[in-house]
Homo-oligomer: A and B are copies of this chain.
């Protein structure tokens, strides 16, 4: 007997989540046991509300473009399922939709919250003895899911950030006296993305601040001063989530001033104004904003291929009878192998940047981070790139 499958996306967009969808579709086609694949509109909401699309209605040329299409083409959602012990209304709706469409395989493509949804569905199905396989496909630019070497989405964002940093470094180098440029990078809890700015080496930031290390404004000003006096310019990368020793965010966008006017700008702009006020250097706060998660035009080829493969593996694992798992990537001899681990273990944990990937002073990465990142960007589109970073003429020759 043939069954159907269903696929959904959730959380923040990335450049390559649609590549995982491409992988799922192309793998489903290979297996006669699956009649068709439905796509949830706006993630789990689409499943609850029976808002699904049969992939066979989609022209193949549109499917082929998925590997270069950013965002979440099926629509995303941020919706937390209640605990079914307390309220199983939405679970019942979901089971009805699954039964109605003869669905036996669910693929959830997302980050921590999606894995939490998967875990809950898996446990509910177990409780009511309903045979439906639940497989998580990892996705997050933040790279903060545990038990996987990295997550699809991270290498493309890392590649964009490193290339941006290299370009900004060149831009700032062209004047006799440069500025203090402070680049704000996404990452509320984990510093993986901000650390990736170092991959612009030797044009990486002079200073890198991540949420894993408490932020001390006085030390920061000292660091900037030391660099500026030597180089007459300074490039800083900073995570949006840096916190003081008492665990307070440095700058919250919604903070009100004494007139309860909304404060403008984020932590990068705030630190730039701090430098200007205290050290009187010319500064610029640069927020990479949405671009770091959606600028697909320089997505990592490697990342796209891995995202596709994670999609393919999800289908294969489900047909092997596995359930309650997420596809994982494991590093063996600096190559990636695919595996899986239980959603129970993965959901609701955060993988932080280890202390030994940060330098001793806490204001840059260590060589171990370069070792970790060395395999992430290793497929270049043409030979004038070097590990994902566009090569430039060296300034000192001119």
Chain A residues at the B interface, C-beta cutoff of 8 Å: 9, 13, 18, 39, 42, 45, 53, 57-59, 62-63, 65-66, 68-77, 163-164, 167-168, 170-171, 173-176, 181, 257-259, 262-265, 269-270, 273, 276-277, 284-287, 289-291, 293-298, 384, 390-395, 397-398
Residue pair B273, A284 in contact (C-beta under 8 Å)? no
Q: Residues of B contacting A284 with CB < 8 Å?
A: 289-290
10 closest A-B pairs by CB: A71-B170, A264-B265, A69-B392, A265-B265, A171-B294, A167-B294, A65-B393, A72-B174, A76-B174, A69-B393
Beyond the given pairs A58-B398, A286-B289, 5 more chain A to chain B contacts, judged by CB atoms under 8 angstroms and listed by A's residue number, are A53-B398, A66-B393, A70-B167, A73-B395, A167-B295
With contacts A264-B270, A273-B264 taken as known, whether A393 is within 8 angstroms of B290 at the C-beta atoms is no
Q: Residues of B contacting A398 with CB < 8 Å?
A: 39, 53, 58, 62, 73-75
Copies of this chain per assembly = 2
Give CA–CA (A55, B276) in the complex, Å: 38
Residue pair B262, A273 in contact (C-beta under 8 Å)? yes
Residue pair B393, A62 in contact (C-beta under 8 Å)? yes
Q: Residues of B contacting A291 with CB < 8 Å?
A: 164, 167-168, 286, 291
Q: Residues of B contacting A72 with CB < 8 Å?
A: 174
User: Mind listing 21 A-B residue pairs with CB under 8 Å?
Assistant: A13-B174, A39-B398, A42-B175, A42-B176, A45-B176, A58-B398, A62-B397, A69-B393, A71-B170, A73-B174, A75-B176, A167-B295, A167-B296, A168-B291, A168-B294, A264-B270, A286-B289, A286-B291, A287-B287, A297-B297, A298-B298
Q: Residues of B contacting A297 with CB < 8 Å?
A: 163, 167, 297-298, 390
Q: Residues of B contacting A273 with CB < 8 Å?
A: 262, 264
Q: Residues of B contacting A77 with CB < 8 Å?
A: 175-176
